[in-house]
Structure 1
């Protein structure tokens, strides 16, 4: 994984703009701590920061291709192409000659062979830009599920782009302005494909490419979920899921640097860890390294709630012992979670509002893992693919005329609409905005003729998760991991698996009367019985009452100063009331405090103008 950025201007000589281009590259140091590159020509600047994972010596970037001393194409690339070895053989048979062993060069030659049609040949997670000197055109490409981020902004006579908005903002042509739409996206916790919080900055949508030329910008979708009848019986379906998982995990174990897995003790991460362990041992390698997050006093403080019925620790150790992984717990303390430098680092990694201690703990977990490994495999996205969340199985949430996860929040959203100033709440009308975005998403769902109503509705619910909900989690995982130079791979986002399971009937996905029946059946042979039977539990959050108290103290100090830019957004009296809720008595209040403090950090540190 790496950080990419660049600038195209058809009316300016960018060879004279090295300082501005370098400033953009410098924002990506955390994503690529190993090396940097800047490729300048008259109308284009391509920048790169590298995290070396495959072909440590040979994969330097940006990577140009020349003929007879003349520029042909140049590539700045972030991600992994898991089928690069097969593609390399195919391209070699067509006469292509390679100078390195990197997947980057394979992507470059794929473009030389197939042009933009190269995207149909790639299996992986990636975001990259190709400048074609022959046509003076730029091609921006993002992977099918949107695992790797890629943002762009139209400017006079060209475009700016980067792995993160901070790279674009560093250029100076785009200012950190948040419009009403951007604020709605932030406060409603919606991640609409293509949107960003910043005015003028857009995100390349998953499965899309963007072509920039002198005549303008064109967007094209090259992949999308499609609906088709599922003809496999249950046994065949279970077998196919396992075959796919074995192939996916084995491909994603390719690395020239230390690799590990993220283990929570749930079905998803345990299945990935166990399959990875089995594959590595079969290849004659050492046991896989696994890491889990825990909190000081979590065993003593843990109280079941609507989302989490059991602590992770016992299940983590069950899997580690059963699969014989090389395991280590990373234990975090409240002081770490409230440390101002850590919280600021998270907001900067996010380029915006953080999700509180769940973001900070993930950042600290990844920072600790990075001292031991460079690549990690994650169980992220299995719930979206296989139907794991509680609201998939709640009749009222499924039938609600909104996003199912919003119909079943249990007050865990921090009550943002109650925190907003009355005038802003009326202007933003978050309920109407959510309704509009929900209708937009429903209109995209690929229908299947003759499908009975309940199955058709569950297809809608699955689509909403695979194109909306998962984007929030993938963005969070990418930002927190790349902020410390850790590459996280997500096997459950392989498009072959996503497409196959999307079309399996809901009755198959729940054939044993539980969530994620297909995944459980496909992997139970490599899991201890405790994990096979465990009920879904989300990423953990500290239950230390000192954390809530620390948030209240920080909010009190903010209210005492009275000059924070957040008071243009939220009402001081509402925040004061929230800060008076006894610590540990209201999870929603704690989350609201956390979000308010992070909003203050973001607006202040980025000098954001809220234009509403």
Structure 2
């Protein structure tokens, strides 16, 4: 787990370019405080900060490797972990005579690329963003993992193409690349609706992301030629009375194998534990490989939030040592500028704040943690996935009756019972569902954004994804959409950026190719029932997850944001953020103040909408106005823990 940065020039490297890349690497120190390295030749500059996890004493980067006849042919920078690297090394040695000089996973990537070409990425079980430079062909190959666990930003200008683990490092190289730093108004509108910036966009017009499940080739002077190598598809295989038990066992065995491989490390591995089924399953399986496992959770100084107690009960049931971090509203607010700096682009998910604090606490004890991200998207865990069941009666309505339902909903006052049901029932799945984040409707967006463009909608993002799932059942289509939107736009961004802010590696065993292979076959009735979600997964985890958790609703790290924004905890803080922000040309601050005042009365819950604009204002204050200067500490951790 590390931070990489590179620059492929159009006209040859220069000493100024090498020094610029080296200086920009300082933005990534938190991603790799253990080692720093650079390498360059006439066309390419690599920079690297390492968080040493496997083969600590060797496996330095940038790494040089080649076949025996040309041992220095390739140079590699690699962020992530390959969990089947031992199996790959053995296969490459047996079939091709590949030779290795370290005990790590980095050489397995380069050797696989040499012998198998770009298809090597389909053989990697893990999380990765890497770049391989072929000094013979003068070609660069860059790739991201199937689900987008590890990030990779890139920018192409007249002077070349830069790529890196974080956008802020590319902003440092803007003049070297020859790009501008103007904002992208379409991306701003997408963020305001979705609460995250969807791939491949960023809020800076000239910087983009290599999408999940994609790789790119480029040579000096070229633009990246991008290829998608992985598109998740759900190939349902019906359950029968005679096969159900075997299918549940198959799910449990795939997850157990994934956790076993995710435990591979030369440092201590812990686990996050929220009290829900996903993180508890991961921790329980991890205990089989490390009986001294430490689990971590976080909570808030407010009555009525019991996830801390549930997590503690779960830790006791599986026999793990458990550590709790409790966060107060003042501590919460004070950390937000620092967190937003680490994020690169705003993500309006308040759960990333408690994640930041629990990651900071975990880093005092371990260097790697496991977590349960991805289970909901793979096995059907979100409550919203039950919506198609409640809306089935509307499917029988004619288009005219649906339009009448929409008009009736429009005439009903906010908060009136049935208004939301009529509104949702009047729309098709493609119109109403754009992921777990539901923030501003068009009327609210028009009031808040100065440059509202009705032609820019969530369907810019979702329509191409929905086109891939024609004919699938609606719940599976929602899962598929979330794999491309909510998962990689929100869940995995905060998982990567917030843990790496604390030089902590987070691993997600559910997001494994073999786990997905069994998950994609689960039919609708084994995912969503009238009583529960993730039905097949819950059945598979009988005997692994303690009974008090097995059928419990999803918890996560809930934040009392609605309460805090109404009271002394955060109301004054929010009011001051709005007043200080220099975003009048982008946002209607008067409308936002009205929204805050309305929220305070308790008439309407605007907490998520308010949080969306507040996070953007803080982001703008850091990266555009430079009015806010976060207190970023230089990481100082031991090389192993």
Residue 84 of structure 2 corresponds to residue 83 of structure 1: yes
Residue 341 of structure 2 corresponds to residue 331 of structure 1: no
| TM-fit CA distance, 1:229 | 5.0
Residue 213 of structure 2 corresponds to residue 207 of structure 1: yes
Structure-1-length-normalised TM-score: 0.88
Indicate conservation of the 8 Å contact 2:359/2:502, yes or no. yes
**Among 300, 303, 308, which residue is 1:313 paired with?**
308
Partner residue, 1:501 = 519
| TM-fit CA distance, 1:274 | 0.8
**Equivalent-residue separation in structure 2 for 1:229 and 1:593 (angstroms):** 40
| TM-fit CA distance, 1:581 | 3.4
**Among 444, 463, 478, which residue is 2:468 paired with?**
444
Residue 365 of structure 2 corresponds to residue 359 of structure 1: no
- Determine helix, strand or coil for the equivalent of 1:428: coil
Indicate conservation of the 8 Å contact 1:152/1:162, yes or no. yes
| TM-fit CA distance, 1:349 | 1.0
| TM-fit CA distance, 1:559 | 5.1
Residues 526 and 13 (structure 1), Cα distance of their counterparts in 2 relative to 1, 3 Å cut: closer
Indicate conservation of the 8 Å contact 2:346/2:619, yes or no. yes
| TM-fit CA distance, 1:416 | 8.8
**Among 136, 142, 145, which residue is 1:143 paired with?**
145
CA offsets 1:42-64 (integer angstroms, 9 cap, x no match) = 11001111111101111110001
Partner residue, 2:31 = 31
Q: How does 1:99-114 map to 2 (within 5 A)?
A: 99-114=101-116
**Equivalent-residue separation in structure 1 for 2:219 and 2:436 (angstroms):** 45
Residue 572 of structure 2 corresponds to residue 570 of structure 1: no
| TM-fit CA distance, 1:176 | 3.0
Q: How does 1:131-530 map to 2 (within 5 A)?
A: 131-173=133-175, 174-189=179-194, 191-214=197-220, 215-230=222-237, 233-277=243-287, 279-280=288-289, 285-297=290-302, 300-302=303-305, 311-339=306-334, 342-355=335-348, 357-395=350-388, 396=391, 400-402=428-430, 406=434, 413=439, 418=444, 424=450, 427-429=452-454, 432-445=456-469, 456-471=473-488, 472-510=490-528, 513-530=531-548
| TM-fit CA distance, 1:512 | 8.2
Partner residue, 1:48 = 48
**Equivalent-residue separation in structure 2 for 1:417 and 1:210 (angstroms):** 40
| TM-fit CA distance, 1:572 | 2.3
| TM-fit CA distance, 1:556 | 3.1
**Equivalent-residue separation in structure 1 for 2:372 and 2:148 (angstroms):** 16
Residues 357 and 419 (structure 1), Cα distance of their counterparts in 2 relative to 1, 3 Å cut: same
Indicate conservation of the 8 Å contact 1:14/1:45, yes or no. no
**Equivalent-residue separation in structure 1 for 2:152 and 2:257 (angstroms):** 27
Indicate conservation of the 8 Å contact 1:367/1:484, yes or no. yes
Q: Unaligned regions of 5+ residues in structure 2, if any?
A: 392-423, 627-641
**Equivalent-residue separation in structure 2 for 1:185 and 1:268 (angstroms):** 30
**Equivalent-residue separation in structure 1 for 2:104 and 2:621 (angstroms):** 41
Higher deviation after alignment, 202-211 or 90-99: 90-99
CA offsets 1:259-309 (integer angstroms, 9 cap, x no match) = 1111011011111111111x22xxxx4321111111123xx244xxxxxxx
CA offsets 1:152-186 (integer angstroms, 9 cap, x no match) = 11122531101111111111233432112221222
Aligned length: 579
Residues 242 and 513 (structure 1), Cα distance of their counterparts in 2 relative to 1, 3 Å cut: same
**Equivalent-residue separation in structure 2 for 1:198 and 1:461 (angstroms):** 29
Partner residue, 1:308 = none
- Determine helix, strand or coil for the equivalent of 1:144: coil
- Determine helix, strand or coil for the equivalent of 1:113: helix
Indicate conservation of the 8 Å contact 1:146/1:207, yes or no. yes
| TM-fit CA distance, 1:387 | 0.8
- Determine helix, strand or coil for the equivalent of 2:147: coil
Residues 24 and 318 (structure 1), Cα distance of their counterparts in 2 relative to 1, 3 Å cut: same
Partner residue, 2:572 = 553
Indicate conservation of the 8 Å contact 2:181/2:206, yes or no. no
- Determine helix, strand or coil for the equivalent of 2:23: helix
Partner residue, 1:306 = none
Indicate conservation of the 8 Å contact 1:403/1:464, yes or no. no
Indicate conservation of the 8 Å contact 1:420/1:569, yes or no. no
Indicate conservation of the 8 Å contact 1:462/1:502, yes or no. no
CA offsets 1:497-551 (integer angstroms, 9 cap, x no match) = 2233223210122368420011111112022221112122343113694554343
Residue 558 of structure 2 corresponds to residue 532 of structure 1: no
| TM-fit CA distance, 1:584 | 8.3
**Equivalent-residue separation in structure 1 for 2:298 and 2:47 (angstroms):** 34
| TM-fit CA distance, 1:470 | 0.9
| TM-fit CA distance, 1:69 | 8.5
Residues 358 and 512 (structure 1), Cα distance of their counterparts in 2 relative to 1, 3 Å cut: closer
Residues 250 and 104 (structure 1), Cα distance of their counterparts in 2 relative to 1, 3 Å cut: same
Partner residue, 1:542 = 560
> Please, what is the CA RMSD of the aligned residues?
2.6
**Equivalent-residue separation in structure 2 for 1:351 and 1:535 (angstroms):** 32
**Equivalent-residue separation in structure 1 for 2:141 and 2:539 (angstroms):** 42
Residues 407 and 121 (structure 1), Cα distance of their counterparts in 2 relative to 1, 3 Å cut: closer
- Determine helix, strand or coil for the equivalent of 1:424: coil
Higher deviation after alignment, 70-79 or 547-556: 547-556
Residues 328 and 555 (structure 1), Cα distance of their counterparts in 2 relative to 1, 3 Å cut: closer
| TM-fit CA distance, 1:420 | 5.6
**Equivalent-residue separation in structure 2 for 1:229 and 1:402 (angstroms):** 21
Partner residue, 1:305 = none
Indicate conservation of the 8 Å contact 2:269/2:293, yes or no. yes
- Determine helix, strand or coil for the equivalent of 1:372: coil
Residues 525 and 558 (structure 1), Cα distance of their counterparts in 2 relative to 1, 3 Å cut: closer
Residues 404 and 12 (structure 1), Cα distance of their counterparts in 2 relative to 1, 3 Å cut: same
- Determine helix, strand or coil for the equivalent of 2:457: helix
| TM-fit CA distance, 1:414 | 6.5
- Determine helix, strand or coil for the equivalent of 2:29: coil
**Equivalent-residue separation in structure 2 for 1:42 and 1:15 (angstroms):** 11
- Determine helix, strand or coil for the equivalent of 2:483: helix
Indicate conservation of the 8 Å contact 1:301/1:544, yes or no. no
- Determine helix, strand or coil for the equivalent of 2:484: helix
